[in-house]
Structures are given as C-alpha cells and as structure tokens.
Structure 1
Amino acid sequence: MLQPSNMIKSVFLAATVLTMANSCQNADAADGYEVSGQLKNAPAGTVVRLSELVSNQFVEKGQAQTDASGSFTLKGSSATPGIFQLKVDDANQVLLMLDNKTKVQVSGDAKSLPVTYTVKGSKDAEVLRQLTQVMQGTKGEMESLGQRYNAAGQAGKAEEMKDIEKQFYVIQGRNNNKIKSLIRRNVTTVVGGFAVGAFLNPEEEFQFVDSVATVQRKANPNSPFTKELTARLEPMRATAAGATAPEINLPKPEGGTLALSSLRGKYVLLDFWASWCGPCRQENPNVVKAYNQFKNKGFTIYSVSLDQDKGKWEKAIAADGLTWHHVSDLAGWNSVGGAAYGVKSIPASYLIDPKGKIIAKNLRGEALAAKLAEVLK
C-alpha cells in the first residue's frame, strides 16, 4: 500500500484518467466501429486522433480533421472490445470501449473535453458516464486534500495530516459505495467487467471484485476484460480476507529462524517494511503506539524486512523502537516472504486472527488501533 500522500496522488491520477472513460455497444451497427462527433472550439482542420491501448501504451489507429462545424468521423475495426483514446491534445482526451458493433457519437468542448463530453449510442455509455461523474464530482476536493496533506507534512503537523487522512478515506469510501452500486446494477454487461477493474482497487475490494469476476466468467467468458480481471485476481486470492495466511519462516537478527505460524493464538500484524523505506519509517510511530496499547491483550507483530544490509536493518529497528518479532532473508525485493504475499510496494501489512486467518489488510494510522480495539474487546 502506498503512503497516504502517494495514495491521494494515485487517486487523483486515476480520477483524471477515469473521468475520460466511456463506452458504447450497438448491436445494429455494421461490422467495424464508427466514432463520430461534433466539438465546440474545434475550428476546421483540428486533428482528432484515435488510438488503441495495447500492452499498456496507446497505438494510433487513425485520425481525422474537423470540418467548419467541428464535426469529424473515424472508422476502423476491433474484433473484441478494446480501450481506445479519442484525443484532441494532451489535456483533452476521452476513453472509449469499441468493437465491431460500436457506433458512438461524441460531443463536447474541445477546450475542456473531459468535463463537457457526452456520448450517445448505448446503455454502456451512460453507465460509464455515471461512473466517471462519481470521480469527477470529488476531484477538486481530493486535489485540495492532497495539497493540504503535503503542506502539513512539510510543516511537520502530524495531527493535521491524520485529520486529512480521515477525510480522504471518507470520500474514498463514499465514492466506492456509489461505484459498486452502479456496477451491481450492470454486473452482467461487458462494461461491468471493465469498470470493476478500472474504477476499484481489487486489493482493497477483493470480495466484491471477485464476485463480479465470477459473474463475468459466466456472462462474458471471451471478454478480454474478464480474462484480465481473472488473471489479476488470482495472485491476490491467497492473501484475501478470510484466507489462511501463507507461512513465512525466516532468520531473526540474533540468529535462528521464526515461523509466522508459531504465533498462532494471538492477533498478529504481519508487517512488510525496510530501513530505506521512508513511508515505512513514517508509519512506524503509529505501529509502535498500537503495539504498546495492545501487546498485553493478545496482540503481537511479525515484521518482515526487505533490507539487504543487516547493519542498516538492525539500526532502524533500534532507532524506531520496534520491540517485537523481526525476520528477513536480506534479499530485498526478492524476499521469499514478500513473494509469498505478492508484495509490490511497502509498507504493506496483514492482520491475522488467532486461527491464522487474514482479517484485514493495510491498516494505517489510527485504522490499525481502531481495528484492534474492535477485535480485542
């Protein structure tokens, strides 16, 4: 999980991209897609480009020039539904889902396309418009929070940062609930399969996303979005809430090894970190506070370091006052512990119950103490 400031930035980026998403399906259209439209503030000769997302980059498929009324038409073919970018310039572009039965009409202001565009041609287009409006509706508020968070961090105002984090999570939760409601109402559609992976974080919403993937495998088994979603979820399954925590048995700083399973009978926070990880070190005071509050109530911590230098690892443990269980194979990102949990970024954590089941992931700030207070009544 990213540091809150980076999380906020990532949500802003996602909101910026997803605000541009839209899709159309028209069963009566002739083979091959057609994208037509009329744009304000697009004088004759304005170039409109259409590109397809292939291997995480857009490959241009065609371009057209507007006429005196700002109108344009683009045609091509796509045997399976794909994500396309309709672009006037870097600041004015929208995303379309196209296949050979798609006939879509786009309109809007070429100078502010992401916030003014409308799409006609299918129910899917309207669903995606509503989804993007959810993100667009809080974009300004989230940007303001990000600016305030960074300013508070630079000024060393820890309490203000915590308050901003709370506001961020409230907005994020509200957005997620609206998005999930829209997806539920369109769960069997191709756009539903696309939207659940594009608008939600499968790590944080695994149970919901997995349930949608199950429906998609029956309703749209050949959809590239179904296949991509299934492949994306599979490595998460082993560490999803409710799963038995995969075993880790690594060396301790003082010698010997310690198995995660040896701590059964207590609530255990499995914490992935490293001495060189700034966000991890910034989060450590919160973890220390929670540990001191609950260590005598059936709670402990098993920290797995992604360090490679034993001296720096041990120095960080002492400097941050981390008086719990520590292990590491000193293999950095190649740690077998990290691999067992699919760790791609740190800090990352898993709260495990006394029976060895994962019950929560990536609890940060006051969220960790709140969850522990709930389960350790």
Structure 2
Amino acid sequence: MRLIGFLLLLATAIQAQNFELRVEAKTVIPGKKIYLEYINELGKLIKVDSASPSAQRKVTFKGKVKDQGAFYLVNFFDTPKPQKVLVILEGGETVDIVADGMNDEDGKSAFAMKGDYPNVKFMLELMAISKEMEAKVRKWNQEIQVDPKQEKRIQAEFTQAQAASTGKIKALIPQMGSHLVALWATNFLPAEKEMASLEEIANRLNQARPNHPQVKQFVANLKRLGGVNEGSMAPEINLATPEGPSLALSSLRGKYVLIDFWASWCGPCRRENPNVVKTYANYKDKGFEIYGVSLDQNREAWLKAIETDKLVWKHVSDLQYWSSAGAQAYQVNSIPQTFLLDPTGRIIAKGLRGAALDQYLAKLFETK
C-alpha cells in the first residue's frame, strides 16, 4: 500500500507539470502550421512544437511546462506578420484559445482564451484595462483633430485616466501572489513612478521562485536599474537606423536629447506617442532631439509604427526585443521609458512623459 501510495503521488506530481493547449483558428493558411514558442529569460523565441490544423481548424499542444512555469506564444502560421497569442503556463492547465489566425490590414487581430487558472484570469483582466485606456485615447485623438483647442482639457483627462488605470493594475497585483502573471504585470507599471511596486513584486517572486530564470533576470535588472542615475554620463548606444547605417547616441552631443525606449507592440508607448509628437514639434528648433530606441523584433512593424504615429525624429533598433543592447545598457525592463540628456551627454532626468516632459522642457528652454 505504501508503494502504491507513493506511485500515485508521483503520478499526480508529473500530471501537475503537464499542460494542454486547445487552439482553434478562425482562418487557416493551407499547408501552414501553428507553432508553440517558448520565451526564454532573454526574450528569445524558441519553437518547441508545431501542428497542422485539423479540418475543424484546430490543433492541440501537450507537454511538460518548462522552468516550472513559463511564457509561451501561440504563433499562427509563422507568416512575416503572424498573429501571436501569449499564454502563461505553470503546469496542470487545460487552456482553450480561439483566435482570428491572421492580422487585418492594420496589423490587428483578436482572440478569446478560457481557463480557470490565475495566470489566465489576471492576464485577461490586465488586457481589458489596457484596451479600455486605448479606446479612450482613440476618442481623445479624434476630438483633438476636430477641435485642437480641447488639447489642454484632454491632456488633463488623459493624466487622470492613466493614473486610474495604473491604480486598477496595482490593486490586482497582490491577488496574483507568486504566479508568473505578476511578472508580466510589471510591463504595465512605469518604473520611474512605481519602483516600490516593482520591488514588492520582485521580492515576492524571488522568495517563491529564487531559481526561476525569468525571475532571476527581472530581479537582477531591477537592482541595476538605479545604476543609470541622474547626474551620470549616458552609456553609449550605437544601433542601426531605419535607413540602414548605425547612429551613435554620442553623435547628438550639443543638443538636449530624450532617449525614448518604446516598441510598436507596446500599447502604453503608442498611446504616449501623440504627446511626444507635440512636444517634439514645440522644441526641435530650440536644440532638442529625440533618440528613439525600439525593442521591436519585426522590422516591418517597427517601420509602420514610425510612419503611422508620425514619429519624425531619430530612430534606432537592433530588433532584439528585451535583449536589445540599448535596453541592456540602460537596464530597461518596462516601456515606455525615457532618459533626458544635457548637451554634454549627462543624464539630467528620467521617466519624463506627457505633461511632465513638456513642462520640464518649457522651464529648461525658458532659461536659455
């Protein structure tokens, strides 16, 4: 009986490490497969499984979860611009995903996910909060186009709504415990304002998962984040521009330079871009420049976002996602993130966005 009991416990433990993803694509590409990709601690994507859709446009992925909990992407057909759906697995889950299978002309797509598990539940709640804010921003942008005089009112409403959105996210984080979705939630918290919350998450996850590769990377990055301080000389960045040749940050000495870390896939970044566009227009002729460092992986998505959002300043990227040399040099673990440099290349401010950036520059150039 003791041996049988031990074997039953062992079988239960093994089962708890397994997962099952049941995926349905509303649209399929004949002859193409759906892939399951694992995201390692450096942000690299590693294909771990693939399957051709059935006649019912469905595939099932089964396996043992990596690292006792990991981030995965369901990659629909691995096209140049594939629809990808994030899923966080810790073992024991059966998750259902129904997705469009392809992006529309604007690069957008939708999906539905079901599974009574904390990572699924909280991920969907975070996405709902983000989409609510995105809808408000679209409405405000339309209002400004119709009546530019409403800009001051809309900026105030935006600041208030952004604070409310951050508040909702912070309220959810304690409920997430040590589940990996708490690590994903840090992408929605601006490091310059929410360092205490980020440190709380890091401490909790480090105690529960001290050897987890994603947690170790996050904790290490957070510890080093304070290393790029106001008053220190800005580390060099020298990456490729959209045109091909590289552009060194140091080549912009003589101007006040805002290093803007962003990405086409980052909702908060895209929502912030209209504010940055206006700020740049106001100060570009007074000795102000922007050096945009993209954490994109897809070159076409990066270039389209620059064109769509009318970002007419300097841009660079090595298309290495979170492994970007620029992000590593500045210990950037959440975006958008900014660093303002004086004409000598010294960091004089961090985390300036929206009205705060405009007000800082207004005061700065008043004294010139």
TM-score, with structure 2 as normaliser: 0.54
Structure 2 distance, partners of 1:56, 1:284, is 35
- CA-to-aligned-CA distance 1:194-216 (integer Å, 9 cap, x gap): 322x3323233212111221222
- CA-to-aligned-CA distance 1:205-229 (integer Å, 9 cap, x gap): 2121112212222122122332222
- CA-to-aligned-CA distance 1:149-193 (integer Å, 9 cap, x gap): 6x58xx9x5x55444433333332222111111112113323213
- CA-to-aligned-CA distance 1:285-339 (integer Å, 9 cap, x gap): 9xx9xxxxxxxxxxxxxx99999xxxxxxxxxxxxxxxxxxxxxxxxxxxxxxxx
Change (3 A) 1:365 1:31: closer
Match of residue 221 from structure 2: 232
Match of residue 53 from structure 1: 39
Residue number among 119, 123, 133 corresponding to 2:118 in the alignment:
123
Alignment: residue pair count: 257
The range that moved more, 166-175 or 36-45, is 36-45
**Match of 1:185, as an amino acid?**
Q
Change (3 A) 1:68 1:87: same
Residue number among 334, 340, 343 corresponding to 1:348 in the alignment:
340
Match of residue 96 from structure 1: 87
Structure 2 distance, partners of 1:359, 1:212, is 25
Q: CA RMSD in A?
A: 4.8
Structure 2 distance, partners of 1:185, 1:170, is 24
Structure 2 distance, partners of 1:306, 1:44, is 44
**Match of 2:159, as an amino acid?**
Y
Change (3 A) 1:281 1:199: closer
1:65 aligns with 2:57: no
Q: How does 1:285-364 map to 2 (within 5 A)?
A: 342=330, 348=340, 362=352, 364=354
Q: What is the CA distance between 1:117 and its match in structure 2? A: 1.0
Change (3 A) 1:347 1:144: farther
Change (3 A) 1:103 1:160: same
Q: What is the CA distance between 1:231 and its match in structure 2? A: 2.1
1:165 aligns with 2:160: no
Structure 2 distance, partners of 1:211, 1:359, is 24
Any idea what SS the aligned residue of 1:95 has? strand
Q: What is the CA distance between 1:39 and its match in structure 2? A: 4.5
Change (3 A) 1:273 1:207: farther
- CA-to-aligned-CA distance 1:108-143 (integer Å, 9 cap, x gap): 243589644122152221121211121123333334
Change (3 A) 1:276 1:37: closer
Change (3 A) 1:112 1:43: closer
Change (3 A) 1:283 1:102: farther
Structure 1 unaligned runs (5+)? 1-25, 249-271, 289-302, 308-340, 351-357, 371-377
Structure 1 distance, partners of 2:349, 2:339, is 17
Residue number among 75, 88, 93 corresponding to 2:62 in the alignment:
75
Any idea what SS the aligned residue of 1:86 has? strand
Structure 1 distance, partners of 2:54, 2:99, is 15
Change (3 A) 1:283 1:83: farther
Match of residue 375 from structure 1: none
Structure 2 distance, partners of 1:116, 1:238, is 40
Does structure 2 conserve the Cα–Cα contact (< 8 Å) formed by 1:51 and 1:62?
yes
Structure 2 distance, partners of 1:275, 1:52, is 34
Identity %: 16
Does structure 2 conserve the Cα–Cα contact (< 8 Å) formed by 1:213 and 1:229?
yes
Any idea what SS the aligned residue of 1:136 has? helix
Change (3 A) 1:58 1:143: farther
Does structure 1 conserve the Cα–Cα contact (< 8 Å) formed by 2:22 and 2:61?
yes
